[in-house]
RNA sequence: GCCAGGGUAGCUCAAUGGUGGAGCACAGCAUUCAUAACGCUGCGGUUGUGGGUUCGAUCCCCACCCCUGGUACCA
């Protein structure tokens, strides 16, 4: 990580449907990193980008089905995505939509630069196309002639005259870059997958002519396909959102400050595009490469894939309404592994809520507050606390589950210590110093959970600021 | 088939070449400051299977099985 600034992006979500709890997992992880870095580097030195990917045939079709214009359609889904993220207090600095005006310009500018570097040519492409994936497949990718992600959709054989990107030209560059930069792909184990793919990298079509809902391909000095109305392949325009987000064309100062991105976090399904296509495009456009591609695993719900066809989709708001944003954040951060697939369930969420938040943190806060209130304790103002080393270490290693495990130990330690001191039997100085000790511990916990549970941290800090401390409503009422 | 990761208590996950750990769940004890909360104790595992190396392996080696992800051939 750069020492002076931090720029993190999430994947931008495709607008075929509102995001679900699995997508939210990634946003929460990104949010923890953004919040942590704001504490360390200062608010102005962190930029957190998220948003929606809105072009492409699938969106166009969905709009048609809904009987509204593509733009109306994508705005609607985008808004609802934003609401989902807001419900979890995802602290993005910009929510980009690829239909934003500045983004169109950026995508076209990058195209022109790549073209200027002689990396775009026209060609004919015949392929087996899955509209669900917006991608072409080889026969070998298909099972019984169907794409494994969209077994209900027909695979179409399509011939198009398209623009191609000279991806293969960057083969050696990509392989070297990945090998040399050990932080480029995290977790490291996924490197091999990319290196293997890179060996056989082929040029790819980066425009489409069979639909119009996309960023128009700018005029090429070298002439182009017969159809002048080519639009960009969604991946080409979508990736450039990371540049748009920090003002690539519109705000040079902002861009100079934040680019290159420190972390692109994305699902394992998008790794190829981010680890291989994006760096090639950037290299061609003569722009610095991002530092780390952080790959998150998927969430399964009750042992099943989360999917529309299974009808088991949970939206963040479904759980936030019942348990609160911090409880959902806590559960997802504490009982999953960021880089592996994890299994979640509402039952386990409830269990974690009662055991760790209601009986643990929430009860401890009530306990100490009441002791202070009853004894009419007065406190000196507290000097500023820093995030503790064990927490910081684990955040830097993306081990959020472990970090929250450390918090859990701190809570147990404080409870044990109170039981030992028995402050309800003490008076005078002994009482005062015993309670001060516990308050200090609670304040440290509040500081340490700030990136993870921002609302809770704030409430605890406010309650224990002093000089007088009084009891308040339970932070996490028990669920029966 | 090949590559990578994993298989440890009911669940989630740690650990180490030398008598298997934590949290949750469950049971008991104790306690009352607290959200019938906290604490303590207990229950609970031939550490995927079979071999090997070693005085000794969960940890090293070999083979196999299973799970997850990636990928080739057939084209």
Q: How many helices (H) and strands (E) does chain A have?
A: 19, 16
The Å distance, CA of A351 to C1' of B44, is 20
Using the structure, give the distance in angstroms from the CA atom of A295 to the C1' atom of B64, rounded to a whole number: 32
A402: the nucleotide nearest its CA (via C1') is B13
What's the Å distance between residue A348 CA and nucleotide B19 C1'? 35
Which one is catalytic: A103, A147, A283, A450? A147
| Better pLDDT: A229 or A314 | A314
This prediction has a pTM of: 0.93
**What is the spatial distance between Cα A82 and Cα A78, in angstroms, rounded to a whole number?**
6
Q: What is the ipTM of this complex?
A: 0.91
Tell me the CA–C1' distance in angstroms for A402 and B53.
36
Given A61, A105, A116, A133, which residue is catalytic? A133
Model pLDDT, residue A144: 57
Residue A143's pLDDT is: 56
pLDDT of residue A2: 45
- Decide if pLDDT at A253 tops 90: yes
Structure confidence at residue A1 (pLDDT) = 45
Q: Residue A151: pLDDT above 80? A: no
Among the options A5, A61, A105, A150, which is catalytic? Answer: A150
Predicted confidence band at A120 (pLDDT cuts at 50, 70, 90)? very high
pLDDT for the residue numbered A185: 92
Q: Please check the confidence at residue A127 and state whether its pLDDT lies above 90.
A: no
Round and report the angstrom distance from CA (A391) to C1' (B9): 28
Q: Which nucleotide is nearest to A187 (CA to C1')?
A: B5
Residue range A266-270: mean pLDDT, rounded: 89
Nucleotide nearest to A473 (CA to C1'): B35
A422 contact partners, CB below 8 Å, separation of at least 6: none
A253 among known catalytic residues: no
Sign, Cα dihedral of A364, A32, A340, A79: positive
From A284, A289, A183, select the one nearest A243 (Cα to Cα): A289
Please say whether the beta carbons of A441 and A336 come within 8 A.
no
Please report, rounded to whole angstroms, the spatial distance between the CA atom of protein residue A273 and the C1' atom of nucleotide B51. 45
Nucleotides of B under 7 A from a protein CB: 3-5, 11-14, 23-25, 32-40, 68-75
What value does the mean pLDDT take over residues A86-99? Answer: 97
Tell me, what's the pLDDT at A152?
A: 65
- Per-residue DSSP letter, A356: I
Whether A64 is a known active-site residue: answer no
Q: Closest nucleotide to residue A272 (Cα to C1')?
A: B70
**pLDDT given for residue A445 in this prediction:** 96
Active site residue A130: yes
A264 as an active site residue: the answer is no
CB-facing half-sphere around the CA of A34: CA atoms within 13 A = 26
Other C-beta atoms within 10 Å of A70: how many? 23
In sign, the C-alpha dihedral spanning A391, A397, A400, A404 is: negative
pLDDT mean over A109-136? 81
- Taking each helix axis from N to C end, the angle separating A21-41 and A316-323, rounded to the nearest 10 degrees, works out to 70
Task: Tell me the CA–C1' distance in angstroms for A154 and B75.
Answer: 21
Over residues A36-64, the mean pLDDT reads 94
Tell me what the mean pLDDT of segment A348-374 comes to. 95
- The percent of residues above 90 in pLDDT, for chain A, comes to 69
Question: Does the active-site annotation cover A308?
Answer: yes
- SS3 label, residue A301: strand
Q: Which of A55-69, A123-137, A433-447, A455-469 has the lowest mean pLDDT?
A: A123-137
Quick check: is A305 catalytic?
Answer: yes
Q: How far apart are CA A118 and CA A124, in angstroms?
A: 18
DSSP H helical segments within A382-453, as ranges?
389-396, 400-421, 428-449
Say if CB A358 and CB A476 are below 8 A apart. yes
Q: What is the distance between the terminal CA atoms of chain A, rounded to a whole angstrom?
A: 44
Asked if pLDDT for residue A159 goes beyond 80, the answer is no
The residue-averaged pLDDT of A68-94 equals 96
pLDDT per residue over A414-423, tens digit each?
A: 999 999 999 9
Segment A256-279 shows an average pLDDT of: 93
**Which nucleotide comes closest to A409 if you measure CA to C1'?**
B23
Query: What percentage of residues in chain A have a pLDDT greater than 70?
Result: 91
- What span, in angstroms and rounded, lies between the C-alpha atoms of A11 and A29? 12
Question: Comparing A153 with A322, which gets the higher pLDDT?
Answer: A322
Cβ distance A96 to A244 under 8 Å? yes
pLDDT at A223: 59
**Closest nucleotide C1' to the C-alpha of A374:** B33
CA of A119 to C1' of B57 (A): 56
**DSSP 3-state helix, strand, coil percentages of chain A (rounded to 5)?**
50, 15, 35
d(CA A106, CA A138): 31
pLDDT the model gives residue A226: 54
Which candidate in A101, A179, A199, A308 is catalytic?
A308
Q: Which residues touch A200 (CB under 8 Å, ≥6 apart)?
A: none
Strand A6-9 versus strand A263-267 pairing type: parallel
Give the mean pLDDT of chain A: 90
**Beta carbons of A163 and A204 less than 8 angstroms apart:** no
């Amino acid at each position: 990580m750069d020492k002076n600034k931090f720029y993190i992006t999430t994947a931008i979500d495709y607008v075929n449907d509102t995001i679900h709890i699995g997508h939210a997992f990634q946003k929460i992880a990104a949010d923890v990193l953004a919040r942590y870095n704001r504490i360390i580097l200062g608010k102005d030195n962190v930029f957190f980008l998220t948003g929606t990917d809105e072009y492409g045939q699938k969106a166009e079709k969905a709009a048609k089905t809904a009987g509204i214009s593509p733009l109306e359609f994508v705005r609607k889904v985008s808004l609802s995505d934003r609401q989902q993220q807001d419900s979890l207090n995802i602290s993005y600095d910009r929510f980009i939509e690829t239909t934003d005006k500045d983004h169109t310009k950026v995508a076209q500018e990058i195209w022109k630069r790549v073209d200027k570097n002689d990396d775009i040519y026209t060609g004919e492409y015949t392929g087996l196309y899955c509209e669900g994936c917006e991608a072409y497949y080889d026969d070998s990718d298909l099972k019984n002639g169907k794409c494994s992600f969209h077994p209900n959709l027909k695979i179409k054989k399509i011939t198009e005259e398209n623009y191609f990107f000279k991806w293969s030209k960057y083969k050696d560059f990509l392989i070297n870059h990945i090998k040399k930069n050990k932080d480029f792909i995290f977790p490291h184990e996924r490197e091999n997958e990319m290196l293997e793919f890179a060996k056989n990298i082929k040029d790819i079509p980066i425009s489409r002519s069979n639909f119009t809902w996309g960023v128009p391909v700018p005029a090429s000095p070298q002439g182009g396909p017969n159809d002048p109305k080519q639009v960009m392949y969604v991946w080409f325009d979508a990736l450039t959102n990371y540049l748009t987000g920090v003002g690539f064309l519109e705000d040079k100062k902002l861009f100079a400050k934040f680019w290159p991105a420190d972390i692109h976090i994305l699902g394992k399904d998008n790794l190829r595009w981010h680890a291989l296509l994006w760096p090639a495009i950037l290299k061609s456009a003569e722009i610095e490469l991002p530092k780390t591609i952080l790959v998150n695993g998927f969430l399964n719900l009750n042992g099943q894939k989360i999917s529309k066809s299974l009808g088991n989709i949970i939206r963040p708001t479904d759980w936030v309404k019942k348990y609160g944003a911090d409880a959902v954040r806590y559960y997802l951060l504490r009982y999953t592994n960021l880089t592996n697939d994890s299994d979640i369930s509402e039952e386990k969420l409830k269990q974690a809520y009662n055991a760790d938040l209601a009986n643990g943190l929430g009860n401890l806060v009530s306990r100490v507050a009441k002791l202070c209130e009853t004894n009419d304790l007065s406190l000196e103002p507290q000097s500023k606390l820093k995030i503790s080393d064990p927490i910081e270490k684990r955040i830097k290693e993306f081990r959020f589950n472990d970090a929250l495990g450390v918090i859990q130990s701190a809570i147990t330690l404080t409870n044990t210590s109170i039981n030992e001191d028995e402050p309800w039997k003490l008076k005078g100085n002994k009482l005062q110093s015993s309670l001060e000790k516990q308050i200090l511990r609670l304040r440290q916990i509040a500081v340490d959970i700030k990136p993870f549970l921002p609302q809770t941290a704030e409430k605890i800090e406010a309650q224990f600021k002093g000089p007088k401390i009084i009891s308040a409503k339970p932070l996490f009422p028990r669920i029966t």
